[in-house]
Amino acid sequence: MTHFRIAPSLLSADFARLGEEVKAVVAAGADLIHFDVMDNHYVPNLTFGAMVCQALKPYCGDILMDVHLMVEPVDDLIQSFNQAGADIITFHPEASRHVDRSLSLIKSAGKQAGLVLNPATPIYVIENVLDKLDMVLIMSVNPGFGGQSFIPNTINKIKQLKSILDEYESQTGKRIRIEVDGGVKVDNIGEIAAAGADTFVAGSAIFGQPDYAQVMEQMRQELAK
Ligand code: DX5
Ligand code: ZN
């Protein structure tokens, strides 16, 4: 049976109280904490760097830090986030000249690695690096901002990706996870899971409500259907 994971995105948290916000979502049952790193170059927005991630590490406890790099170039920052305590690092293939090398930088530090596919990025970019991937992150909005609407065609893309990854698993025994990011809510999480995703990033859907545990519980009820 699939183990579904919910990853609150700190992008929609109260930035003046990030430590408390991380503690609150950990207590509310988060499976991962999603860090959106934006550089105002690869995406038109600016968030935080490795120092903030490192400062928040103790607040995460045993919960994995899932670092989504929306930066260009990526290699120097991969090294910084490796050192800052990231557990999973994902980046956009368009932002690296040498995708295989960037993935190797993550894997050689003993971390989990993933590629992020924008809505218009074709799935085939992962084809020759499947052996280095632990996860593929499908963007269901264009990256850069929280609170956008889920792009419906993403459902088809997840289904296609799922069949490629199932085939790879049957050949190699290695399971690569599918994470979805952007516009994930209580009312669409079931459909996204049915398409084949197992890890769900949610920013505004969780931090926009007063009771984080209640939203995550509602999401889990949808996933259990
Ligand atoms: C967008 C980020 C997302 C974002 C999701 O570039 O990668 O993680 O925070 O926010 P919601 O859940 O509000 O769409
Ligand atoms: Zn993200």
176, two tokens:
């690569």
pLDDT for 76 equals 98
Rg (CA), the chain: 16
Q: What residues form the annotated binding site for substrate?
A: 9, 68, 144-147, 181-183, 203-204
Q: Which has the closest alpha carbon to 150: 140, 160, 161?
A: 140
Indicate if ligand 1 lies below 6 Å from the C-beta of 209.
no
Q: How far apart are CA 200 and CA 215, in angstroms?
A: 13
Domains contained in the chain, number: 1
Give the mean pLDDT of the chain. Answer: 98
Q: What CATH number corresponds to the domain at position 154? A: 3.20.20.70
Residue 126: helix, strand or coil by DSSP? helix
- pLDDT tens sequence across 117-161: 999 999 999 999 999 999 999 999 999 999 999 999 999 999 999
Please identify which residue in the block is written with the tokens 């090294």: 79
Atom 4 (ligand 1) nearest CA: 146
Cα of 9 from ligand 2 centre, angstroms: 7
Nearest ligand (C-alpha, residue 67): 2
Atom 6 (ligand 1) nearest CA: 143
Domain encompassing residue 168: 5-224
H-type alpha helices, the chain: 18-27, 50-60, 75-84, 99-108, 154-172, 189-195, 204-207, 212-224
pLDDT at 1 over 80: no
At 70, which amino acid appears? M
- pLDDT tens sequence across 163-182: 999 999 999 999 999 999 99
Q: Is the bond preceding 73 in cis, omega lying within 30 degrees of 0? A: yes
pLDDT for 2 equals 82
Residue 69: helix, strand or coil by DSSP? strand
Residue 194: helix, strand or coil by DSSP? helix
Task: With cut-offs at 50, 70 and 90, classify the pLDDT of residue 40.
Answer: very high
61 secondary structure, DSSP code: T
- pLDDT tens sequence across 41-65: 999 999 999 999 999 999 999 999 9
Q: How far apart are CA 221 and CA 194, in angstroms?
A: 14
